[in-house]
């Protein structure tokens, strides 16, 4: 089954404790992206990757890192999480061709205390 998976689905952590949210897709997609979704603010892009070893900042990259060492994986790293990073996070992928739809993962609900 074609899908985007994220782990963990739920995470409660404390300020300053480094964490990684994994994202993996099995569709051989070139384009991958991370979004955060907050009430009243909608979906905002954090980082995106057009291909392996190619990443770029989205609209709200501060406090986040990403890497794209393999085509299928695109982990999101929070080196020193803060409470304002409490949010619902989505990973998405697409073929990278113009007009193509994005496939979203199930989401990771992160709470930083």
Partner 1 sequence: SQKIEQNSEALNIQEGKTATLTCNYTNYSPAYLQWYRQDPGRGPVFLLLIRENEKEKRKERLKVTFDTTLKQSLFHITASQPADSATYLCALDGDGNNRLAFGKGNQVVVIP
**Chain contacts with partner 1 (rule: CB under 8 A):** 4, 31, 33, 35, 40-45, 48, 50, 58, 88, 90, 92, 94, 96-107, 109
Cβ nearer to partner 1, comparing 18 with 89:
89
Q: At its nearest, how many Å lie between partner 1 and the CB of residue 30?
A: 9
Question: What is the spatial distance between Cα 47 and Cα 68, in angstroms, rounded to a whole number?
Answer: 11
Cβ nearer to partner 1, comparing 31 with 64:
31
Please give the span between the terminal C-alpha atoms of the chain, in angstroms, as a whole number.
Answer: 36
Question: What is the spatial distance between Cα 9 and Cα 106, in angstroms, rounded to a whole number?
Answer: 8
Cβ nearer to partner 1, comparing 14 with 43:
43
Helix (H, G, I), strand (E, B) or coil at 83: helix
Among all chains, which residue has been given the structure tokens 């697409």?
A: 94
Question: What is the spatial distance between Cα 48 and Cα 55, in angstroms, rounded to a whole number?
Answer: 6
Q: At its nearest, how many Å lie between partner 1 and the CB of residue 87?
A: 13
Q: At its nearest, how many Å lie between partner 1 and the CB of residue 16?
A: 27
């Amino acid at each position: 089954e074609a899908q985007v998976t994220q782990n963990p689905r739920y995470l409660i952590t404390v300020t300053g404790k480094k964490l990684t949210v994994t994202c993996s897709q099995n569709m051989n997609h070139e384009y991958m992206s991370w979004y955060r979704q907050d009430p009243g603010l909608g979906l905002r892009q954090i980082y995106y990757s057009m291909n392996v070893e190619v990443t770029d900042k989205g609209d709200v990259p501060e406090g986040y890192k990403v890497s794209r060492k393999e085509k299928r994986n695109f982990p999101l790293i929070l080196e020193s999480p803060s409470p304002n990073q409490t949010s619902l996070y989505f990973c998405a992928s697409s073929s990278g061709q113009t007009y193509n739809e994005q496939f979203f993962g199930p989401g990771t609900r992160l709470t930083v205390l």
